[in-house]
Chain A
Amino acid sequence: MEFFGKIIAAGLMNGAIYGLVAVGFVLIYKSSSVLNFSQGYMLLLGAYIFWSFRAALRLDLFLSLILTLPTAFLMGILIERITLRPLIGQPLLSMITVTIFLSLVLEGLVSLFWGTYPLQQVNIFPKGSLKLGKTVLTTESLFAFGLALAVMVALILFFRFTRLGLAMRGVAEGHQTVQSMGISVKRILTVCWGIAGVAATLGGILLGGTLGFQLGLSHIGLLAIPAAFIGGLESPEGAIIGGVLIGLVESIVSGYVGKAAGVPATYVILIVVMFFRPYGFFGLEKIERV
């Protein structure tokens, strides 16, 4: 029972971070129907940028966060401007493949500037532990969980109640309609990529704080993709639920089966879910008309 509690706690904590990264997928998919396969590598680059501020330049934690997040926003914008903007009007397949190649470039940039070895550990959250019955939770994981949830709630509120959020939901509905109402689709897409970059970077920092800053961080992208798909690609709330689900599945399976079975198990579940509910649990069902 103790083991089970531990597994559930770890699953929830990781799941919140997967959900955070998956929200980035959903944002981009909703506004431009492009699946961003490079989300995991945006996370990696963002985390490394944070590491540079925090560990290499030895800045204060908050100062480095304040410096990192605009950089991450800029990173998202640049990616959109350089690679996706010229492809508007091209088949969707090329837009998706471009994000796959982007992940090569981003991974290459990271190893070009920071090398392929894991970087020096940086502590982000205060050390400590909390006993909940027999389950021991580290404050690190609690902080990460809380922060991930807070960011997600902020994003959802942003979508519901701000003008920009409304415009983004409009863009997701249809480009022409929104354009005719005087909203610049290009600007919205840019902002979306920026926010996706920030969400990925936050996830990267949270994970880097617990797992260490290393190239393996990008594998979270591989877990956030199923999270976004199971939740439904159009729904931020779905992405979060999907993220928690994937986190739980991964941690239960790797806890009881072992053998690094967590990631493959999530993909098995993904394929099964796709087979019965192709658009995920909260996604929009597409009806084709000729």
Chain B
Amino acid sequence: MAHTSFYPPSGIYSDSYRKDMRIVKTKTQWIMSIASLILLFMIPHIPFLNSTYSLRLLIGVAITVIICLGLNMLTGYCGQLNIGQSAFVMVGAFTSGLLNIHFGWPFWACVIPAGIASAIMGAIFGIPSVRLKGLYLALTTLGAQIILTWIALFYIPLTAAGFSVEPIKIGTFAFNTPQKFYYIAMLFTVVMAFFAKNMMRSGPGRAFIAIRDNDIAAEAMGIDIFRYKLLAFIVCTFYAGVAGSLFVHYMMWAHLESFTLNDSIWYVVMIIVGGLGSIEGTIFGVIFITALKEFIFVIGPMAEGKLPFLPIGAGSGLLLVIIGGVAILFLIFEPRGLAHRWNLFKAYYRLWPFGY
């Protein structure tokens, strides 16, 4: 499904394994990566881009990227479909929120326990992967979504009604506006993306890919399938938990409504549009779908206003039709996602004007 080994720029010789595995291969790439990182953290100071609206969008993208990175490691790299990701985000979010309001723990002490709580849940629902494969396993994740939401709704006081959570603080400085929270979100996203990229090019990542491509062959080569599948589940849900923790401290409000089955499906849409088995693709997919969603939020009510024959709620219907339709079109016409297009584009400009 994923095919990312494109040619590097000409004149780059990978004469050792270390060199072949480098993420950043040329001086230009170094300059561009550092420049884009600086640009990323400068956005709150750039006019037009620093409105509260656009910063809110970018923070949403950053948090969703973390969720989808985890999902892409499980689904894209390891080949295990997960349609319950938002339940694991919920576990992280509520763990973090409850620790915060019951024990007064600050965000920095909550975020790792939140990730671990999610990972434990992920491991529990990943255990059936000893015997189950493919769509059978997808079903247990659907079960996770339904069972975990139900537990949160009826058995944990507070979570059903929603509760407020403190913002992130360093000393007495609170990150309580989008302008301030932006840095935290981007910091986490960059670190998590870097970790994901590294993990996927090292031993466990290659084991995941082997399991995805052919699990019997992988087992024959000495890969402990159950261990690595479980590891994939744990990593995936750890990311979800951390993102959930970030999310509640950003919204300063934890509520069940934010974690539905539909959200889980949207995450799958995002990684498929972006490109299964690609870290860059995850980011493209999240940006693309978020932009599409915003566009429809604008035109949906307009359509409802202009076309009186449409019933109430038609705007939300339009949103679903377009998002679902885009995802289906991507699956049919570009199953490798935006990441593949991006690689084609890079190959094109490297050879330009001598491409043939």
Residue ranges of A at the interface with B (Cβ–Cβ < 8 Å): 35, 83, 86-87, 90-94, 96-98, 100-105, 107-117, 222, 225-226, 229, 259-261, 263-264, 267-268, 270-271, 274-275, 278, 288, 290
Residue ID in chain A nearest B127 by CB atoms: A275
Closest Cβ of chain A to B306, distance in Å, is 14
The CA-CA distance from A257 to B265 in the complex, in Å, is 30
B328 at the interface (CB under 8 A from A): yes
Give me 29 A-to-B residue pairs in the complex whose CB atoms sit less than 8 angstroms apart, sorted by A's number: A86-B332, A91-B1, A92-B135, A93-B1, A93-B75, A93-B134, A96-B135, A97-B327, A104-B323, A104-B324, A104-B327, A105-B324, A111-B314, A111-B320, A112-B310, A112-B318, A115-B311, A115-B313, A116-B312, A116-B317, A225-B142, A261-B154, A264-B151, A267-B143, A267-B146, A270-B143, A271-B143, A290-B217, A290-B220
Within 8 A of A (CB), among B267-322: 268-269, 272, 310-314, 316-322
| A259 and B154 in contact, given A108-B319, A111-B313, A225-B139 (Cβ under 8 angstroms) | yes
The CA-CA distance from A90 to B328 in the complex, in Å, is 13
Within 8 A of A (CB), among B130-149: 131-132, 134-136, 138-140, 142-143, 146-147
Interchain Cβ contacts within 8 Å, total number: 144
Residue ID in chain A nearest B134 by CB atoms: A92
Residue among B131, B313, B327 making CB contact with A117, cutoff 8 Å: B313
B92 at the interface (CB under 8 A from A): no
What does the 1/0 interface line of B131-175 toward A look like (CB < 8 Å)?
A: 110111011101100110011011000000000000000000000
What does the 1/0 interface line of B53-94 toward A look like (CB < 8 Å)?
A: 000000000000000000000010001010100000000000
Q: Is the CB of A98 within 8 A of B331?
A: yes
Q: Is the CB of A275 within 8 A of B313?
A: no
Residue ranges of B at the interface with A (Cβ–Cβ < 8 Å): 1, 75, 79, 81, 83, 128, 131-132, 134-136, 138-140, 142-143, 146-147, 150-151, 153-154, 216-217, 220, 262, 265, 268-269, 272, 310-314, 316-325, 327-328, 331-332, 335
4 A-B pairs closest in CB distance:
A115-B311, A108-B320, A116-B313, A104-B324
Q: Is the CB of A290 within 8 A of B216?
A: yes
The CA-CA distance from A91 to B134 in the complex, in Å, is 11
Q: Is the CB of B317 within 8 A of A117?
A: no
B residues in contact with A259, CB < 8 Å: 154
Q: Is the CB of A101 within 8 A of B331?
A: yes
Q: Is the CB of B320 within 8 A of A105?
A: yes
The CA-CA distance from A288 to B215 in the complex, in Å, is 11
B residues in contact with A109, CB < 8 Å: 317, 321
Q: Is the interface of B mostly helix, strand, loop or mixed?
A: helix
The CA-CA distance from A222 to B128 in the complex, in Å, is 19
| A115 and B220 in contact, given A225-B139, A229-B139 (Cβ under 8 angstroms) | no
Residue among B140, B317, B328 making CB contact with A102, cutoff 8 Å: B328
Residue ID in chain A nearest B140 by CB atoms: A271
Q: Is the CB of A101 within 8 A of B317?
A: no
| A101 and B327 in contact, given A83-B332, A111-B317, A116-B316 (Cβ under 8 angstroms) | yes
Residue among A104, A108, A268, A270 making CB contact with B139, cutoff 8 Å: A270
Q: Is the CB of A101 within 8 A of B132?
A: no
Residue among B151, B216, B335 making CB contact with A94, cutoff 8 Å: B335
Q: Is the CB of A268 within 8 A of B220?
A: no
Q: Is the CB of B128 within 8 A of A94?
A: no
Q: Is the CB of B136 within 8 A of A278?
A: yes
A residues in contact with B128, CB < 8 Å: 271, 274-275
Of A107, A111, A113, A225, which is in contact with the most chain B CB atoms at under 10 Å from its CB? A111
A residues in contact with B324, CB < 8 Å: 101-105, 108
Closest Cβ of chain A to B272, distance in Å, is 6
B residues in contact with A86, CB < 8 Å: 332
Q: Is the CB of B142 within 8 A of A112?
A: no
Residue ID in chain A nearest B217 by CB atoms: A290
The CA-CA distance from A260 to B128 in the complex, in Å, is 25
Q: Is the CB of A83 within 8 A of B328?
A: yes
Closest Cβ of chain B to A183, distance in Å, is 26
The CA-CA distance from A101 to B81 in the complex, in Å, is 14
Q: Is the CB of A90 within 8 A of B220?
A: no
A residues in contact with B265, CB < 8 Å: 100-101, 103-104
Residue ID in chain A nearest B321 by CB atoms: A108
Q: Is the CB of A112 within 8 A of B331?
A: no
Q: Is the CB of B135 within 8 A of A105?
A: no
| A105 and B328 in contact, given A111-B320, A264-B146 (Cβ under 8 angstroms) | yes
B residues in contact with A229, CB < 8 Å: 136, 139
The CA-CA distance from A102 to B335 in the complex, in Å, is 16
Q: A104-B265, A104-B320 are in contact. List 10 more A-B contacts (CB 8 A).
A: A35-B135, A94-B272, A98-B331, A101-B324, A101-B327, A108-B321, A111-B317, A116-B316, A225-B139, A271-B128
